[in-house]
Structure 1
Amino acid sequence: MSDFDPIEEVIEALQAGQMIVLVDERAVDVDGSELVGEGELMMIAELADSNSVHFLARHAGGPVYVAAETSHLEKLGLDAASAGATGPRGASYMVPVNARDVEGTGVSAHERALTIRRLADPESTPRDFVQPGHVTPIAAQSGGTLRRAGHTEGSVDLARLATFSPPVAVLASILDDDGEVASTPYLLNFATRHGLKIATLRDLIAYRSRSEKLVNLEARARMPTRHGEFTTYAYRSLVDGSPYIALVMGEVDDGEPTLVRMHSCCVTGDALGSNLCDCGEQLQAAMAMIAAEGRGVIVYIQSHEGRGIGVLHKLKAYELQQEQGLDTIEANHALGLPADSRDYGIGAQVLQDLGLRELRLLTNNPRKRVGLDGYGLRVVEQVAIAANPNPHNIRYLRTKRDRMGHSTLLEEGDRSDAQSA
């Protein structure tokens, strides 16, 4: 029996005006190390009052935010905290605000509750707020947890599922008695102590995946390759319109664990033959491994170019690496971008539409395994792809191994330092 409550019960609790605890037990740092839990205390914004805001501030311990869809925050004329302002896990923060009709400084529980309710009011306009203030809005990505599996999106998803419109939530990070990120056992005890429902992002994502479909099959065609004939399935995301191409060989909907590669588009490596990465080699290796087994799937994700930053930013990162000696993570950070902003929710829907449930995942990246586990798919095995280092990509491969936790299978003195790079 699970320690967590069913999503249906969590939705009912929110509709009744109660707080809940939302846990990201899949959380992983950029270096690949697993975090201990990460939990948020959450409630519906339009039901906030001084007592609930005081409870959030006193018992959670972390900052209090108001989460809403980007379109709603844009309607209210709210500004990003700075250009491209994101938190460490990709959340987008706005400039803190006060409701214009707040009579004091806006910092009291009563005044913050008023501002929170104004942010959730469908009749509010930009004239109803002043900046800066004491309540920080935070923008959820379109598509919610099926696009980005974060607390921000999770809280807005739950507000929408609880039939509040606009779906706006209040959330605060739960810290333990030492002021550190609370562990899952602490969060379970916290929920029991305060009589709150507790749920995981994993269960929320699975709930949405069962009840919603966010991809549409646009075309299907046979594609002969050097590795044999694949069938291509061309999907379009109903969230942002981006394409997802599935290469399928053999019968993959028979219930047996299927060899799967989630491949991030890499124009420079896949199409131009760049030696600065190992992407093209990994794609060809995956196709060969699937052909050898006679069955499997590759999902080619165009929006994942450059670990999610796009080809132009990737080339700027290359420039910083070559001129300033930065590694791939440092270069992204120097551009104000995360080390890895990829999400696998829509790709997981492609796999589900193809009839897959259990995967043998072709990857060296532990984040991919964790990322797919939350979407109603079960990774029964992680199958590594051997790296083939060269003088141009040896540092890149070492960075992925040492700082991002990749199992790149570098051996023998990193292949004699890639033949004396």
Structure 2
Amino acid sequence: MSLATIPDAIEAIRAGRPVIVADDEGRENEGDVIISAELASQEWIAWLVRHSSGFICAPMTNEIADALALPPMVAVNEDPRGTAYTVSVDAANRLSTGISAADRAHTLRVLADPLSMPSSLHRPGHIMPLRAVDGGVRERDGHTEAAVDLMKLAGLRPVAAISEIVHDSGEMMRLPELIEFGAREDVLVITILDLMHWLEENRCDTIPAPIEPIPEMSRVQFEVETTIPTVHGSFTVRAYRDNSTGADHVAFIAPGTLEHLGDGPTLVRVHSECLTGEAFGSLKCECGPQLDAALETIQRDGGAVIYLRGHEGRGIGLINKLRAYRLQEDGLDTLDANLALGLPADSRDYGAAVGILKDLGISTVSLLSNNPEKKRQLEERGVVVGDLVPLVVGVGASNEGYLETKRDRMGHQLPSTAVLDEARLTAKGL
């Protein structure tokens, strides 16, 4: 067996099979197994662990790493090759401890899932994501970039699994031993140099990213329906399991709502979980009063409140949210505090809400929200949003700066400071 062609390697990747990629003798002179994270199976990951160092990394684009809130492992990278390690991860809904082949394959698939969000992952974990240099192997001739380039060429999500091939003794395997191993295991072997030449010969100036799948109702799974009396009135409550993140979501539906679909837009509030504001009455946000006002309005006018769990702190999680609060005490606003932690300003994904709306048969809504980004995400996924219905409640001295930041820097449709002051006085009964 000799070195394989690049087109054959691309076809193997597309079929979910591994490919061995060797780098230059003057570099690491190592061979890494590369396999698609999107297509990772328990069987192939178990095979990878048996024949490698067992240290599995997940190369991905910077865009995906940013979307999943995967900051660099260290502020100053002292790795001689500049390998861009991030914090390690497990899937949030892992099957057991995270180390098994089944768990690691699952984590890899979560990393590659376009519907995943930061809350889909736990940190630290047993998979080590790597940030690939933009431009691929023509900018950096490493296995990280080769893996991402191969995924793109195969039309797959640009997230891979890689690990170094070793002998039973633990020593690194080199060419031509890698070719012998590939022949024995029926796995193709290529080199990064051949990949670079092939890209040049085929004039691949840029490698297009794969087309993202359109989120479907399969994002969520309906579990149970019941009736719950509340201080705002009685609601039909439907519970859903998020197949992407493992989170539980609920829809509170006012009486008669589903019987009158088609009479016009349905009033809908898509509400993100906020433990501090809803359970403990925190005055640093308006989430608790917003939820109460939404339930009151929906009960009076008809419609549904979709409550999304896993959105704490605009998707960064409770601990990171409290860390951001601590930075705000030092003078940062809510946006800069997230960025200072290496996290997105807002990493929430509303795909689950779209799945729930589809399950309920709701296709046209009036959205009870101040957030145009929420409207944009729903519309991108096929929901017709007639208008944004403002929800300005819970304004106070402790959150006025927070609301101004959301208005001035995050595009929320909130009134001027003077009107916010008036709302704050009204809330106090003055």
Bucket of the pairwise TM-score, normalised by the shorter protein: 0.5 to 0.7
Q: How does 1:62-211 map to 2 (within 5 A)?
A: 68-69=37-38, 71=40, 75=45, 78-79=56-57, 87-90=65-68, 94-96=130-132, 107=141, 116=150, 126-127=163-164, 172=207, 204-205=213-214, 208-209=215-216
Sort the Cα spacing of 1:234 and 1:409 in 2 relative to 1 into closer, same or farther, 3 A: same
Does the CA-based 8 Å contact 2:224-2:240 persist in structure 1? yes
Q: So what's the TM-score if we normalise by structure 2?
A: 0.55
Give the Cα–Cα distance (whole angstroms) in 1 for the partners of residues 296 and 37 of structure 2: 45
Aligned to 2:306: 299
Does the CA-based 8 Å contact 1:317-1:328 persist in structure 2? yes
Question: What is the aligned-residue RMSD (CA, Å)?
Answer: 4.4
Tell me which amino acid in the other structure corresponds to 2:257.
V
Does the CA-based 8 Å contact 2:69-2:344 persist in structure 1? no
User: Which one of the candidate residues 290, 300, 312 is aligned to 1:282?
Assistant: 290
User: Which one of the candidate residues 326, 329, 345 is aligned to 1:319?
Assistant: 326
Task: Give the SS at the match of 2:382.
Answer: coil
Q: How does 1:253-402 map to 2 (within 5 A)?
A: 253=258, 254-255=261-262, 256-293=264-301, 295-322=302-329, 324-402=330-408
Aligned to 1:235: 240
Give the Cα–Cα distance (whole angstroms) in 1 for the partners of residues 370 and 246 of structure 2: 28
Give the Cα–Cα distance (whole angstroms) in 2 for the partners of residues 114 and 262 of structure 1: 35
**Structure 2, unpaired ranges of 5+:** 1-6, 16-34, 49-54, 71-128, 167-171, 173-204, 426-430
Task: Give the SS at the match of 1:94.
Answer: strand
Does the CA-based 8 Å contact 1:269-1:279 persist in structure 2? yes
User: Which one of the candidate residues 220, 226, 229 is aligned to 1:224?
Assistant: 229
Does the CA-based 8 Å contact 1:78-1:94 persist in structure 2? no
Sort the Cα spacing of 1:67 and 1:173 in 2 relative to 1 into closer, same or farther, 3 A: farther
Aligned to 2:121: none
Sort the Cα spacing of 1:125 and 1:300 in 2 relative to 1 into closer, same or farther, 3 A: closer
Sort the Cα spacing of 1:374 and 1:118 in 2 relative to 1 into closer, same or farther, 3 A: closer
Give the Cα–Cα distance (whole angstroms) in 2 for the partners of residues 353 and 330 of structure 1: 37
Aligned to 2:80: none
Does the CA-based 8 Å contact 1:372-1:379 persist in structure 2? yes
Does the CA-based 8 Å contact 2:13-2:151 persist in structure 1? yes
Give the Cα–Cα distance (whole angstroms) in 2 for the partners of residues 302 and 117 of structure 1: 32
* C-alpha distance after superposition, 1:296-337 (max 9, x if no partner): 111111111110011111111111111x11111111111111
Task: Give the SS at the match of 1:306.
Answer: helix
* C-alpha distance after superposition, 1:125-169 (max 9, x if no partner): 623699xxxxxxxxxxxxxxxxxxxxxxxxxxxxxxxxxxxxxxx
Q: So what's the TM-score if we normalise by structure 1?
A: 0.56
Give the Cα–Cα distance (whole angstroms) in 2 for the partners of residues 335 and 395 of structure 1: 20
Does the CA-based 8 Å contact 1:78-1:95 persist in structure 2? no
**Structure 1, unpaired ranges of 5+:** 1-16, 18-42, 48-65, 131-169, 175-198
The structure having more radius of gyration, on CA atoms, is 2
Task: Give the SS at the match of 2:404.
Answer: helix
Does the CA-based 8 Å contact 1:265-1:304 persist in structure 2? yes
Sort the Cα spacing of 1:200 and 1:116 in 2 relative to 1 into closer, same or farther, 3 A: closer
Aligned to 2:118: none
Give the Cα–Cα distance (whole angstroms) in 1 for the partners of residues 366 and 242 of structure 2: 24
Paired residue total: 280
Task: Give the SS at the match of 2:387.
Answer: strand
- Percent identity over the alignment is 38
